[in-house]
Amino acid sequence: MSAALGLRVWGLSRVGYNTDEAVYAGQAAAIASDPTLKEIFPVFRAHPLLFQFMLALVFHFGVSDLAGRLVAVLIGLATVFVVYLLGKLLYGEKAGMLAALILALMPYHVVVTRQVLLDGPLVFCSTLTLYMLARFALTERPAWLYSAGVGMGLTFLAKETGIILMGAIYAFLALSREIRIRILDIALATILTFLMIVPFPASLLLAGGTRSGKQYLVWQLFRRPNHTWDFYPTTVPVAIGFLVIAAALLGLWFLRRQGTWRERLLVCWILVPVAFFQLWPTKGFQYLLPAAPAFAVLAGRALAHWPPTQVIPPLNRYLSIASFNKLVTGIVAISLLIPSWRAIQPSTTGSYVAGTGGVPGGREAGEWVRENIPQGAKLITIGPSMANILQFYGHRKAYGLSVSPNPLRRNPSYEPVFNPDLQIRTGDLHYIVWDSFSAERSAFFSEGLLKIAEKYNGRVVHVESVMVKLEDGTTVAKPVIVIYEVRP
């Protein structure tokens, strides 16, 4: 747990929020009635509000990015503990310890649970659900199935995409004939799930957010893919750890004769979200995180029973089993620790993948905006990502140039600028903010924004730089965020 804690709090506040963190924290601040942010961030956007609600309880004592991240860290640590319980329940104490160690060090989980994202709480709730489902499978007590239903509801409230794990539950139950289950119990558990979900539509309906919910659903269903098909295969295995995946797969193969419903449960928990999100057009780095605990338990199981009987005789000639066991575990742990350590260092390339951490310079730029730009001033950025960050830290309205005026082509949470030229000419837009992270993703809008800056007497009033390493090894300051003042 100390390793888990250390990796999650080391330099936690060194880099400010990224766009998603800014949005969720902004929502939480709006729920907590922060006088400034409640006028910038709407309470209802896309997702249910379980995590934002929890953050709001903290933000009642003051909005702080560090406090928000500490809540995320606590939830991450709680997930590590639940994974320990799960591993212990399924494969014994040692497997539980190893599974917890793997998750504690896993870059995927470390990176996400250092951020104010919904996926950390989602994984906690889904892992809790998995644990209760395992207890049901083990004891066949319907109460545990009902609890799993409640856990599933919580998972949805953390993030609605968690609902796809119901597919994993049904698949597992359908494939596990040895587990006696009554249809009535499944129905009751499902009802409990939907009862738990009620706060989402109820608050939308009663608290005035129906419109935003419907619009978001429509947009999600028809939006264009944001990544190519190979996004997950190229990013997630690295984040989970190749050795972890290898250990899980080798364990499944070498220990196949000892296989029970347990592996089926974990495999279902992995395959269903992976298959779903691979097909779903919208892809996000953290979307597959619910599968990480299952990988950790399968890998923990493999390491706990390593080496398998097939490789013991030749191995005995060189090394004791215990030493070999410790060596393999150590290698796996180090293979996770090193990338995790690297992942929690600030970016030194000036580029950024959404969901992988804070945006260097974003908080500082936002704070500069808050200190130096008149209240009521409005900004335009390349895209909504930087706009969100500047709004959270800068307390000023910011728009994204790339936000489409076509309602079918934009996130309904975002407000488009229909004619930036006109708005600058009429004194309704005052600053242009260019950033290298958005520019890298959208050269077209970056160029468009700079053209506007040039056209309207753009004058650089602030620059945020990060130290980047060049190919020859030298380190230089690279401007990542540039703020221009514009006027007609």
Partner 1 sequence: MTRLRRLGCVLGVLVVGSWPTGGGAHAQAPNQTSEPNTPIKHFIVLMQENHSFDNYFGTYPGADGIPPGTCMPVDPFDAKNTTCMEPFHIGDYPIEDLDHSESTSNLQYNNGRMDGFIYALNQRNQDGVSAMGYYDDHELGYYWNIADEYVLFDRFFSSASGGSAINHMYWVAGAPGSESGRVPPGGYGDVPTIFDRLEERGISWKFYIENYDPAITFRTVVPGEDFGNRASQIVWVPLLNYDRYLDDPNLFSKIVNLNEYFEDLENGTLPAVSYMVPSGASEHPPGSIRAGERFVKTLIQALMRSDAWSSSVFMWTYDDWGGWYDHVPPPQVDKYGYGFRVPALMVSPYARRGYIDSTELDFTSPLKFIEENWDIEPLAERDARANSIASGLDFSQPPREPFFISFSREPDKLPAEPRRGVIYIAYGAAIVFAVLMIAIVSITDKNGSDQRTTDPKLRKEDAIS
Nearest to 297 by CA among 90, 135, 136: 90
**Which residue lies nearer to partner 1 by CB, 151 or 383?**
151
The sign one gets for the Cα dihedral 470, 115, 23, 353 is positive
CB of 176 to partner 1, least distance (A): 12
Among 16, 96, 151, 383, binds partner 1 (CB under 8 A): 151
**Which residue in 315, 351, 427, 469 binds partner 1 (CB under 8 A)?**
427
How far, rounded to the nearest angstrom, does the alpha carbon of residue 208 sit from its chain's CA centroid?
27
In angstroms, the Cα distances linking 44 to 199, 207, 209, 212, 425 are 13, 9, 6, 7, 32
Q: What SS3 state is found at 177?
A: coil
Nearest approach in angstroms of CB 168 to partner 1 is: 19
Closest CA to 17 of 380, 394, 370: 394
Query: According to the binding rule CB under 8 A, does residue 44 interact with partner 1?
Result: yes
Q: Looking at residues 438 to 467 of the shown chain, list those that interact with partner 1 (rule: CB under 8 A).
A: 457, 459
Are 432 and 383 in contact by the 8 Å Cβ rule? The answer is no
CB of 207 to partner 1, least distance (A): 4
Q: Residue 26 in contact with residue 40, Cβ under 8 Å? A: yes
Q: Which residues of 273-295 are buried (b: 16+ CB within 10 A; e: fewer)?
A: bbebbeeeeebbbbbbbbbbbbb
The smaller minimum CB distance to partner 1, of residues 141 and 326, is found at 141
Residue 308 near partner 1 by CB under 8 A = no
Q: Which stretch binds partner 1 (CB under 8 A): 74-82, 195-203, 244-252, 435-443?
A: 195-203
Q: How far is the CB of 34 from partner 1 (least distance, A)?
A: 12
Tell me the closest approach of the beta carbon of residue 288 to partner 1, in angstroms: 24
Establish if 247 lies at the interface with partner 1 (CB under 8 A): no
Tokens of 162: 């968690």
Nearest residue (CB) to partner 1, 49 versus 359: 49
CB atoms within 10 A of CB 381: 28
Map residue 399 onto helix, strand or coil: strand
- Region binding partner 1 by CB under 8 A among candidate stretches 17-25, 205-213, 214-222, 381-389: 205-213
- Give the whole-angstrom CA distance, residue 351 versus residue 361: 12
Query: Distance between CA 284 and CA 270 in Å, rounded?
Result: 16
User: What is the SS3 assignment for 5?
Assistant: helix
Please tell me whether residue 260 binds partner 1 under the rule CB under 8 A: yes
- The encoded tokens of residue 66 equal 């560090």
Q: Does 267 bind partner 1 (CB under 8 A)?
A: no
Interface region with partner 1, contact rule CB under 8 A, candidates 76-84, 103-111, 153-161, 331-339:
153-161
Residue 400 binds partner 1, judged by CB under 8 A:
no
430 touches partner 1 by CB under 8 A: yes
> Could you say whether residue 256 binds partner 1 (CB under 8 A)?
no
> Does 93 help bind partner 1 (rule: CB under 8 A)?
no
Give the total of residues touching partner 1 (CB under 8 A): 60
Find the shortest distance in angstroms from Cβ 301 to partner 1.
Answer: 8
Contact stretch for partner 1 (CB under 8 A) within 7-15, 84-92, 109-117, 359-367: 84-92
* Cβ-based nearer residue to partner 1, 155 or 235: 155
- CA–CA separation, 111 vs 21, rounded Å? 13
Cα–Cα distances in angstroms (integers) from residue 239 to residues 106, 112, 371, in the given order: 7, 10, 38
Q: 10 Å Cβ neighbour count for 323? A: 10
Question: Where does this chain touch partner 1 (CB under 8 A) — which range of 131-139, 315-323, 352-360, 445-453?
Answer: 131-139
Applying CB under 8 A, which residues contact partner 1?
Answer: 30-31, 33, 39, 41-44, 49-50, 53, 90-92, 95, 128, 132, 135, 138-139, 141, 143-144, 146-147, 150-151, 153-154, 157, 196, 198-199, 202-203, 206-209, 258, 260, 262, 301, 373-378, 397, 425-428, 430, 457, 459, 485, 487-488
